[in-house]
């Protein structure tokens, strides 16, 4: 589209004139609309422009103000459309069609590019333009850079080809955000990473950059809104996979918080029990209380599948602790019944249990040493000697019993 610029502004400018548009020679410069937080023009207008369709066709865009007044009267909205309202509607229509390009044109034709001196052109510096516009030079330069990128892609003329007050055909508003970075942080290494992540998620980088620049607002949203907290948790879990330092920090925070430690212990136990049931279903084997690995009987596998299906049907946020405990206890009962019903398996279970206890006792006794004690009398207690003597008697009794059961005795 072409943005028409009048040398003198009438009470009601042409419908395709952009807000505040005037020739640079008159000394009037565009004042960029600024939001309450000092950011660039609202992105919502850009999004609306990107979605606009047949309603923005040329026939509708160039409709005269009188037609708009007739329509308003026909709809019963007003007897007469005030000139101020008509002007606002016309300015809005121009902005919807061109979006940020309309403002970028003002910068491109009024701010002199690098390499040109004040005597060579009627254009002014970005600093001078910003002072006249009542905004920061950084904001002016963001529009300048957007136009420069578009010029490199052949969408708009280069700065040198533009003169103050000159009009050119502007690109559609829906491509504006491909060139414009509304926040200076977007050009930093951190901003580049955030921009790439936002594009991968299918959202506008400006939104992600705004959140990143205001951690307090992010904290408030997480504290107040469960859905925001859930999204933050999911994002942190994804980041944990590739951020070892964050893993360490998170683990340290959990270890230092009693409530979190208890919650982690409970969830770990539940996950272990569910894993026990899942192994029965997937591998067809189960461990006995003594530690034997046996083939799971059909009854056990069927019961395990039933419990596992119930657990898998639970919602993601539903507590699985009770379900896991019920499934685990059910599996234990069936395993115990299976062992008790088979004499050979029962004997092997007793043998395995005894040998396991013997190994544990041996390891503990081997660790009992006086090698690092210089003066035994400093640690001597009558109770120590008594316990060792009782242990010796118990071991002697076990040895005697086992010798009697030895083959050939």
Beta bridge partners of 286: 294
Higher pLDDT, 220 or 373: 220
Beta bridge partners of 293: 287
Please tell me the predicted confidence (pLDDT) of residue 58. Answer: 34
Backbone angles phi, psi at 147, to 5 degrees: -65, -40
Lowest mean pLDDT among 48-57, 98-107, 203-212, 335-344: 48-57
| Neighbouring residues of 370: CB distance < 8 A, sequence distance ≥ 6 | 376
> In whole angstroms, what is the distance from residue 205 CA to residue 199 CA?
6
pTM for this structure? Answer: 0.42
Please tell me the predicted confidence (pLDDT) of residue 317. Answer: 74
Average pLDDT over residues 175-189: 66
> In whole angstroms, what is the distance from residue 60 CA to residue 78 CA?
20
* Token duo for residue 355: 């040998």
Backbone angles phi, psi at 74, to 5 degrees: -65, -35
| 141-157 confidence digits (pLDDT tens) | 888 988 998 999 999 99
Average pLDDT over residues 148-171: 91
| 184-195 confidence digits (pLDDT tens) | 555 566 777 877
Q: Does residue 167 have a pLDDT over 70?
A: yes
Q: How confident is the model at residue 107 (pLDDT cuts 50, 70, 90)?
A: very high
| 354-402 confidence digits (pLDDT tens) | 888 888 888 888 777 666 666 767 777 888 888 888 888 988 998 888 8
- Our CA angle for 7, 13, 15, nearest 5°, is 120
Backbone angles phi, psi at 12, to 5 degrees: -125, 100
Average pLDDT over residues 243-253: 90
| Neighbouring residues of 403: CB distance < 8 A, sequence distance ≥ 6 | 409
| Residue 224: alpha-carbon gap to chain centroid | 17
Q: How confident is the model at residue 63 (pLDDT cuts 50, 70, 90)?
A: very low
Average pLDDT over residues 203-227: 82
| Block residue for tokens 């004997």 | 347
């Amino acid at each position: 589209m072409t943005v028409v610029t009048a040398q003198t502004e009438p009470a009601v400018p042409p419908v395709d004139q952009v807000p505040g548009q005037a020739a640079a020679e008159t000394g009037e410069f565009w004042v960029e609309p600024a939001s309450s937080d000092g950011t660039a023009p609202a992105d919502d207008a850009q999004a609306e422009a990107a979605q606009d369709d047949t309603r923005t066709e040329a026939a509708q865009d160039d409709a005269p103000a009188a037609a708009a007044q007739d329509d308003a009267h026909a709809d019963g909205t007003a007897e007469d459309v005030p000139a101020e309202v008509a002007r606002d509607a016309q300015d809005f229509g121009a902005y919807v069609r061109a979006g940020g390009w309309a403002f970028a044109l003002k910068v491109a034709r009024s701010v002199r590019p690098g390499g040109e001196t004040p005597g060579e052109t009627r254009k002014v510096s970005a600093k001078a333009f910003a002072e006249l516009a009542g905004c920061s030079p950084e904001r002016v330069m963001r529009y300048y850079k957007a136009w420069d990128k578009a010029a490199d892609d052949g969408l708009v003329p280069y700065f040198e080809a533009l003169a103050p007050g000159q009009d050119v055909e502007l690109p559609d508003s829906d491509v504006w955000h491909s060139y414009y970075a509304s926040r200076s942080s977007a050009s930093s290494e951190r901003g580049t990473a955030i921009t790439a992540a936002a594009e991968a998620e299918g959202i506008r980088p400006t939104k992600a950059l705004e959140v990143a620049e205001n951690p307090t607002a992010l904290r408030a949203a997480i504290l107040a809104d469960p859905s925001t907290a859930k999204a933050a948790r999911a994002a942190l879990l994804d980041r944990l996979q590739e951020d070892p330092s964050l893993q360490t920090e998170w683990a340290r925070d959990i270890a230092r918080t009693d409530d979190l430690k208890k919650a982690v212990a409970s969830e770990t136990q539940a996950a272990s029990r569910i894993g026990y049931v899942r192994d029965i279903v997937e591998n067809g084997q189960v461990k006995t209380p003594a530690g034997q690995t046996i083939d799971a009987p059909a009854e056990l596998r069927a019961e395990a599948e039933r419990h596992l299906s119930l657990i898998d049907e639970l919602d993601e946020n539903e507590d699985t602790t009770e379900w896991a405990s019920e499934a685990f206890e059910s599996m234990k009962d069936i395993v115990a019944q299976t062992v008790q019903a088979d004499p050979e398996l029962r004997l092997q279970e007793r043998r395995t249990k005894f040998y396991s206890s013997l190994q544990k006792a041996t390891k503990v006794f081997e660790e009992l040493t006086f090698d690092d004690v210089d003066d035994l009398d400093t640690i001597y207690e009558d109770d120590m000697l008594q316990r060792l003597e009782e242990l010796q008697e118990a071991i002697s009794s076990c040895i005697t019993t086992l010798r009697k059961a030895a083959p050939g005795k």
